[in-house]
């Protein structure tokens, strides 16, 4: 019998809310739920999972995009999954009140199993700019998607069972 695991990244700065992750066995896709607010209305921002949960220098000490397979930056939605493990949905688009609510399942992420492949203890970073999905004309596009500076961030940790 499988035990489901829930994780959460909690934002409590100018941007508030959560990014929640849920997985019931190591072969299942991870359900990702975004519930964020405090943005300017009708804006787009890049959002990714980064390598580390080290907040010793704020968002700057979180490393690069989480990238298990050394892939180029891309998008799950346009390159058949060939992208960084942590590219998530690449961009969030806020509504006319500055909210972003969305959920999807991600086949690249893992919570259960090998800890070196897990997202637990890593971080979610919201960037100032828009992710170009690795389609830009410069080298940085294939690394970061030209996502811009780090606007806010949160560490992914275990959540109480049942809490999403």
The whole-number pLDDT of residue 38 equals 98
Instruction: Report the catalytic residues.
Output: 48, 50, 65, 73, 84, 87, 127, 150
pLDDT, tens digit, for every residue of 101-147? 999 999 999 999 888 999 999 999 999 999 999 999 999 999 999 99
The whole-number pLDDT of residue 40 equals 98
Domain ranges of the chain: 5-158
Q: What is the residue-wise DSSP string for 75-142?
A: -TTTTTT-S-GGGTTEEEE--TTS-EEEEEEESS---SS-GGG--TT-EEEEESS---TT-SSSTTHH
Residues of the chain with pLDDT under 70: 1-2, 79-81, 161-164
The whole-number pLDDT of residue 79 equals 58
Answer whether CATH 1.10.510.10 is correct for domain 5-158: no
Under 8 Å between Cβ of 19 and 36: yes
Whether the predicted model's global pTM rises above the 0.85 cut: yes
The whole-number pLDDT of residue 129 equals 97
The whole-number pLDDT of residue 7 equals 96
């Amino acid at each position: 019998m499988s035990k489901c695991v829930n994780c959460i990244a909690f934002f409590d700065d100018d941007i508030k809310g959560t990014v929640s992750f849920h997985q019931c066995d190591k072969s299942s896709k991870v359900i990702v739920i975004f519930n964020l607010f405090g943005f300017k209305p009708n804006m787009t921002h890049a959002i990714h999972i980064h390598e580390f949960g080290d907040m010793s220098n704020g968002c700057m000490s979180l490393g690069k995009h989480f990238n298990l397979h050394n892939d180029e930056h891309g998008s799950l939605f346009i390159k058949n999954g060939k992208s960084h493990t942590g590219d998530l949905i690449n961009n969030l688009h806020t509504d006319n009140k500055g909210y972003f609510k969305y959920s999807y399942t991600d086949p690249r992420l893992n919570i259960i199993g090998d800890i070196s492949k897990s997202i637990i203890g890593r971080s979610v970073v919201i960037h100032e700019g828009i992710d170009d999905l690795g389609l830009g004309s410069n080298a940085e596009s294939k690394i970061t998607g030209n996502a811009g500076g780090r606007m806010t961030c949160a560490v992914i940790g275990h959540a109480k069972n049942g809490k999403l």
